Amino acid sequence: MVHLAPLSEKVAIMTSGGDAAGMNPAVKSAADYARKLGMQPYLVKWGLRGLIEGWIEPATDEFLSDLIHRGGTALGSSRSKRFFEYEFRKQAFENLQSLGIGKLVIIGGDGSFGALNQFYADFKVPFAGIPATIDNDISGTDYCLGVDTALNMIRSSVDSIRDTASSFSRAFVIETMGRDCGYLAMISALATDADVCLVPEIEYDLDSIGARLKEKRAEGKKYLLGIVAEGTGMGEALTRWMGDALGMDSRLTVLGHVQRGGSPTVYDRIMAFKFAVTAIDNLQAGEPNKVVTFKDGAFGMTSINEIADTKHQSDPGLVNLCRGLSR
């Protein structure tokens, strides 16, 4: 059931933490849907810092109409250490009070959710979180906004590297982002038919990998591709090893922040809409301090405490599919 709000009810929407494609479509969808329910949507510029500084303004069609196709976050983001001091949280609360804003939607990662959870404990301002991080490492949800776009950026880069690798019979190692989570590397390795995949979730055996790759070379494989998650710290080491052990000209490509950019894919745009609608609906239903999660094909709400207390675990099925690339 859709709960219509009094016209005076106001909700502020913000992005926080690392940028991810899908944030902009989520901002637009949340503002449009809130307005449809009779709420007045506001936008917070520059994340937690914007709450402290009072950089909060009504959502306008002029601003929202240019968001759906844009990567990153047009609202801006920041990691504000000041927000973890009570006096600055109080200042943020007073800024919201002065505008009559009583609800928040935050699009970001678990650190951002934790910050607003403390904000709720202090001042009882309810919030709904929308997970957005290319690392896909928030517990309780199978998907975070930005992941599909990042994977497509990686796929495009690896396909381009394959062209030059095959032209010169080289070995290339491609390092992906993901902090301590190997999701991007594992999916990318499978999708690009990589020969090696090193991630924090899987123990690797270089002797076994070497024997397997030498056999591939003996059977006529002209080039080799390795995908390495940044959390392993093995990018340079694997590149040197492939050169020494296999006698090949080996190169390392660190994709870096190119993975964060790019116009959101269709999947990220649609998921942004669904995450946003679920967030606004649950705020209206009186369920504060929760994060929208997507699990086994269904959307739900999970308490921030449950997310914080549960260590993220990569999909065992995905891990098993990649074991053969680590030995």
Where in the sequence numbering do the catalytic residues fall?
A: 135
Q: What does the alpha-carbon distance between residue 291 and residue 131 come to, in Å, rounded to a whole number?
A: 7
Element at 214 (helix H, strand E): helix 206-218
Q: What is the DSSP string of 146-200?
A: THHHHHHHHHHHHHHHHHHHHHHT-EEEEEE--TT--HHHHHHHHHTT-SEEE-T
- Which has the closest alpha carbon to 179: 239, 237, 261, 109? 109
Q: What is the DSSP string of 134-155?
A: TT---TT-S--BTHHHHHHHHH
Secondary structure of residue 236 in the 3-state scheme: helix
Half-sphere exposure for 292 (CA within 13 Å, toward CB): 31
Q: Name the E strands within the chain.
A: 10-15, 40-44, 56-58, 103-108, 127-131, 171-176, 196-198, 224-229, 250-254, 290-295, 298-303
Secondary structure of residue 106 in the 3-state scheme: strand
- Alpha-carbon separation of residue 102 from 62, 107, 256, 283 (angstroms): 24, 17, 38, 11
CB under 8 Å to 252, separation ≥6 — which residues?
Answer: 172, 173, 174, 175, 235, 236, 239
- Alpha-carbon separation of residue 122 from 9, 17, 74, 87 (angstroms): 21, 21, 29, 11
101: phi then psi, degrees, rounded to nearest 5 = -90, 125
The residue type at 179: R
